[in-house]
Structure 1
């Protein structure tokens, strides 16, 4: 008989004894007892007091496991419930950002959230802070969008200046100047002589480009 067969036989005998006392959870208890050393299992089969002691320990472990699971489920349900209650209260303030503000405030500890639910003034204060943060974030995003268009406004300024020097090629020269870095562009805008030098270089480059194409 192999070790596995021996364990199966022990399991069947053990299950038979356990099921007579705890029919509904006999399978679970037997599985737990079978994790014990073979010598202990054999002793249980021969001595009812040892078996009862083993079953008591297994039952205690099951109760603890069940308690932990229920506590986790309760905590999870409690968290969901807090979120729903907080959402409903924040929604009364008509900020237009109920969901975002709820999410921000739920990042606090459970105790802090419970305090918000019981203190309307504190809740209003926290809502205003969260709303201010969201508005600032929105302004930052808007500023970033504006800065993306900054090249266009500089381009317009340079175009008008270049147009005064070389109206014929103002568009081409402006395009060439806009390839410069922002610091150089600002210097060109502030200093007319630098602008004229930059325009002359661009004119030379344009002339050379035109000459090359006309000779091909």
Structure 2
């Protein structure tokens, strides 16, 4: 079964589950849920609790999209529509996509002009495009920020740490580098940026090496 057939089958199953309780909006709700990853959809078909949660999110998003009048439009207040108010409504819509980054994506979208944000609230298609673009940007930033998106990058990070450690303790550079590489990637990148922190980490590793309880294989 190819992806299109699989998605169509999942759509039919979801529709049959949603229709009894939401006859009027069953089609729209199903369509919104079908934007989610296939594994999530399969879980919804098998687990009523997961389906119910997804439907509730989609329903809230649908109601917000259909009721732009909820957004205040008075002359004086219009310029200062609460960022919290817009943020909450936008978050509800973004959260439907189950990206795992709803808060970050909402924050990115809120950096736009208010009129652009209002357009997102009333145009589901435009919102979907913006969410997908923001998600792609986040993933790219994450790969650049951590520098260890795969084994090759992890190896390069190890080499950078080793070259710095070697300047501080050539004799034990291998051992110390191995100990430091057990740290979180974010902490390792901080060591690369802050030489003082690196020196402290190396000194701690040296102390561990000098400990009589520390055994090292050669």
TM-score for both structures, normalised by structure 1:
0.36
The structure with the larger Rg is 1
Report the structure, 1 or 2, having the larger helix content: 1
TM-score for both structures, normalised by structure 2:
0.35
The higher relative CO (CA closer than 8 Å, separation ≥ 6) is in 2
